[in-house]
Amino acid sequence: MQSNVKTLSLGIDIGSTTAKVVVMNDDKIVYSKYERHFSQVRPKTIEMLEEIRPYLEDRLFTVAISGSAGMGLANAAELPFVQEVYATAQIVKEKEPDTAAVIELGGEDAKVIFFSHGVDERMNGSCAGGTGAFIDQMAVLLDMTVDEMDEISLGATRIYPIASRCGVFAKTDIQPLLNQGASKSDVAASIYQAVVNQTIAGLAQGRKIQGKVLFLGGPLHYCLGLRERFVKTLKLDNDKAVFPEYGLYAVALGAAIYSKNASEKYTFSTLMKSLRECAESKSSERMALPPLFESEEDYKSFKERHKKASVPIADINTYSGRAFIGIDCGSTTTKLVVIGENRQIIYTHYSPNKGNPVEIVLEQLKKILSLCGDRITVSGSAVTGYGEELIKNAFSIDEGIVETLAHYTAAKYFDPTWISFLISADRI
């Protein structure tokens, strides 16, 4: 008589920013989940597995862990580990055997795996440029959620060149575009194009991506605008660009498939016992960093030293006399300072640009002038930063000053001896 008992397998994928679990009953996926772990890898894994207790309790099952943050947990809990590329290969073999290449984007990882003419994997290094984390940063710069940025990207009419190798470089490209009035929809699509360019140029490294391409990972599952840029750039026909529903948890699915061949089986209680023990063990604790100050006297000395470079503060509501406004319109934030005749600070403001620094400066200048009333006369103004020209022209600011000269001016005010030393030593 043939047994009706089916084989259960559990796959766990712990990436740089998210955790995924998949439960398979023979070849059928009966449960899947995808969540951010916010660096709480072990507690989040335990929490997610508790939710699948009804599927695994009182049953034997196989298990395997994968992912860039999964090896540590697998070793600590003495559970099987499968490398991501091998787990992905399991997916290709079982689901899409005619795949020529896989493009997978994760939270901080990106990879291209070629399956034609042998397996050849290309993966990013320590920099998260061109990954989900990069997209998150750019959405913040546009003062949007990722979903909002994705939606407006679909209405783009123009693509601008934007660096994606580093978020800092990207911001230096994006902020001037926003300052010059480029539409956010065009900028959003250009951000996606930068991710595509980084993947093709940085990972493929000259090898053509052609044939059937399987797209995996969270960003490629959620971001329709990113999908569109990949398809258009690679010039893929509809049947050659595959965005499967399981793409969100593909590596976890591959780990579950891989585990089917394992001889050792687990019960839910033994699995959770191993995970809890390693989560609570001292070996999971991070080494403490040395203290910043060795003693209370050391801390007091530090405070006294820094007090020498402090600026007196006055209340703009009671101050009378002349005042001067300084504006720093940077790549991501805008800062305003108002000082009095004796260089005392009477007003400050610091906020994100939210993709529109002009609006922020306008709002703040209105507030400052209303606070000044008849008691205070604004006698001068200067602006620095990425948005120097924009703000200077928009509000008729008296002076525009490059950031290095602004730094020099402040440093000279606080410590003229140090600046004189640098000049005499030909260091500046």
For residue 59, the domain's CATH number is 3.30.420.40
Average pLDDT, the chain: 89
Residue 154 inside a domain? The answer is yes
- Confidence at 422, pLDDT banded by 50, 70, 90: low
Say whether both 163 and 262 belong to one domain: no
Does residue 163 lie within any of the structural domains?
A: yes
What does the pLDDT read at residue 249? 94
CA distances in angstroms from 100 to 37, 232, 243, 334, 341, listed in the order given: 32, 18, 14, 47, 70
Look at residue 268 and tell me if it is in a domain. yes
Mean pLDDT of 301-329: 92
Q: Do 258 and 352 fall into the same domain?
A: no
Residue count (the chain): 428
Query: Is residue 25 domain-resident?
Result: yes
Task: Write phi, then psi, for 242 (nearest 5 degrees).
Answer: -115, 120
- Banded model confidence at residue 3, pLDDT cuts 50, 70, 90: very low
Question: Would residue 313 count as lying in a domain?
Answer: no
Are 176 and 78 contained in the same domain?
no
Q: 306-313 long-range contacts, Cβ below 8 Å, gap at least 24? A: 309/414, 309/415, 311/343, 311/344, 311/345, 312/342, 312/343, 312/344, 312/345, 313/344, 313/345, 313/346
The angle that helices 184-197 and 224-234 make with each other, rounded to 10 degrees, is 60
Handedness of CA 79, 84, 89, 90 (dihedral sign): positive
Helix/strand number for the chain, H first, E second: 17, 14
Residues 161 and 42 in one domain: no
Give the mean model confidence (pLDDT) for residues 187-199: 94
Domain assignment of residue 407, yes or no: yes
pTM above 0.85, yes or no: no
Is there a single domain that holds both residue 108 and residue 167?
A: yes
Domain count, the chain: 3
Assess whether 60 and 118 both reside in one domain: no
Supply the pLDDT for residue 423. 61
Q: What does the pLDDT read at residue 247?
A: 93
275 and 380 housed in the same domain: no
Residues 134 and 62 in one domain: no
Q: Is the pLDDT of residue 6 over 70?
A: no
Query: Of all residues in the chain, what percent carry a pLDDT higher than 70?
Result: 94
Higher-confidence residue of 177 and 377: namely 377
Residue 228: name the closest of 268, 195, 275 by CA: 195
Enumerate long-range contacts of 230-237, CB under 8 Å, 24 or more apart. Answer: 230/103, 230/196, 230/199, 233/193, 233/196, 233/197, 233/200, 234/200, 234/209, 234/210
Of the segments 117-126, 171-180, 335-344, which one has the largest average pLDDT value? 335-344
Q: For residue 399, give its domain range.
A: 321-424
How high is the pLDDT of residue 187?
Answer: 96
239 in the same domain as 112: yes
CA-CA distance, 167 to 329, in Å (whole number)?
A: 18
- Claim to verify: residue 112 and residue 224 sit in the same structural domain: yes
Tell me whether residue 315 is in a domain: no
316 falls within a domain? no
264 with 225, same domain? no
